[in-house]
């Protein structure tokens, strides 16, 4: 009996030690890593729910956690530069860019609405985890990375990848069915995080916030005019941002403000939740 106890204890300790320690910036990426790695990985997410990535600074405790990790899966967002500068020379840590081989869309410009403000012509949309194409790419990169690092469990990682892709394809089918009747419609959002998602289903993003700046009175007037023309009654906001400007516009169209979360962890559930919310806005 004692021998059995020691064997089970040894196996439990070995299993814990065998886990691959992985750092991610945001929870949607953590979800992908956990879907592919399952119990073979241990994840730490730097920016949790309710936190704004644009104002993020890593804490000393997080830097300490990063020091024990084998991989950091980055998405190529500007806010990650602070993290990368601190950990770039860390021994034993591999930084894997999940945006490799993915063509990013350019962010909307304030010039699109006649505002005489400067803008960066080369600023690309960092919200790639809301792109169906990018999600598939990221899942493949994660599976490939884990398989190379841990070849003994390669069949498991590849099986998990196939299962995830199957679930994701089903999610895309359902999402497309929900949004197909709205093809060509504009969706009014405060923060321009949803461009990849909306474009994938032939919808257009009309953003209130542009280039990280509060909307000008002229831009607010433009949004109100567009929303009335499109007969929409909903302005979508993200929980990471103030709803003040969105509420002003909602009042102007006698509509309401509805929250959808671009950083929701479960990307499969979130695609369908966002689609249902958008569909409801046009009912």
Count: domains in the chain: 2
> In this predicted model, what pLDDT tens digit does every residue of 253-276 receive, in sequence order?
999 999 999 999 999 999 999 999
> For residue 88, what pLDDT is reported?
74
Look up residue 45 and give its two tokens. Answer: 């997410």
Between these two residues, 232 and 112, which has the higher pLDDT value? 232
Give yes or no: residues 190 and 270 share one domain. yes
Look up residue 242 and give its two tokens. Answer: 């103030």
pTM: 0.87
Determine the distance from the C-alpha atom of residue 20 to the mean position of all C-alpha atoms in its chain, rounded to a whole number: 22
57 CB neighbour count, 10 Å cutoff: 9
What average pLDDT does this structure show over 70-82? Answer: 90
> For residue 264, what pLDDT is reported?
96
Give yes or no: residues 63 and 198 share one domain. no
> For residue 2, what pLDDT is reported?
56
Residue 212 has pLDDT above 80, yes or no: no
CB burial class (10 A; 0-12, 13-18, 19+) of residue 244? exposed
Go through 130-146 and write b for each residue having 16 or more CB atoms within 10 A of its CB, e for each that does not. bbbebbbbbbbbbbbbb
Between these two residues, 247 and 4, which has the higher pLDDT value? 247
Give yes or no: residues 233 and 263 share one domain. yes
Least confident of 114-128, 156-170, 214-228: 114-128
Look up residue 131 and give its two tokens. Answer: 């792109």
Which residue in 188, 190, 187 sits closest to 240, CA to CA? 190
Residue-number span of the structural domain to which 242 is assigned: 182-281
Q: Which residues pair with residue 26 across a beta bridge?
A: 47
Mean pLDDT of the chain: 87
Among 33-37, 64-68, 80-84, the range with the most confident prediction by mean pLDDT is 33-37
Token pair 């309401």: residue = 256
Return the CATH number at 213: 3.40.50.1980
For 41, residues 6+ apart whose C-beta sits below 8 A from its C-beta are 19, 20, 21, 22, 33, 34, 146
What average pLDDT does this structure show over 108-129? Answer: 61
Give yes or no: residues 163 and 198 share one domain. no
- The count of C-alpha atoms lying within 13 angstroms of the C-alpha of 149, restricted to the half-sphere facing its C-beta, is 21
| Percentage of residues of the chain with pLDDT beyond 90 | 63
Give yes or no: residues 163 and 210 share one domain. no
Give yes or no: residues 136 and 157 share one domain. yes
| Percentage of residues of the chain with pLDDT beyond 70 | 88
């Amino acid at each position: 009996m004692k021998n059995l106890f020691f064997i089970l204890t040894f196996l439990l300790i070995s299993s814990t030690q065998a886990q691959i320690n992985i750092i991610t910036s945001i929870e949607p990426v953590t979800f992908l890593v956990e879907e592919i790695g399952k119990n073979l990985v241990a994840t730490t997410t730097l920016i949790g729910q309710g936190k704004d990535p644009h104002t993020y600074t890593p804490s000393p405790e997080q830097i300490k956690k990063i020091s024990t990790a084998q991989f950091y899966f980055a998405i190529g967002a500007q806010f990650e530069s602070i993290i990368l500068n601190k950990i770039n020379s860390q021994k034993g840590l591999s930084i894997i860019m999940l945006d490799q081989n993915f063509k990013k869309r350019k962010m909307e410009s304030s010039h699109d609405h006649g505002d005489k403000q400067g803008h960066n012509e080369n600023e690309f949309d960092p919200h790639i985890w809301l792109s169906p194409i990018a999600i598939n790419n990221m899942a493949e990169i994660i599976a490939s990375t884990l398989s190379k690092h841990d070849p003994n469990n390669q069949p498991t990682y590849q099986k998990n990848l196939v299962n995830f892709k199957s679930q994701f394809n089903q999610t895309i089918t359902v999402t497309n069915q929900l949004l197909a009747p709205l093809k060509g419609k504009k969706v009014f959002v405060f923060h321009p995080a949803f461009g990849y998602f909306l474009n994938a289903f032939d919808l257009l993003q009309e953003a209130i916030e542009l280039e990280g700046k509060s909307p000008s009175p002229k831009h607010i007037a433009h949004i109100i005019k567009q929303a009335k023309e499109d007969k929409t009654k909903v302005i979508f906001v993200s929980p990471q941002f103030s709803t003040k400007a969105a509420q002003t516009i909602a009042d102007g169209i006698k509509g309401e403000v509805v929250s959808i979360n671009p950083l929701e962890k479960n990307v499969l559930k979130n695609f369908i939740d966002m689609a249902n919310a958008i569909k409801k806005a046009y009912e």
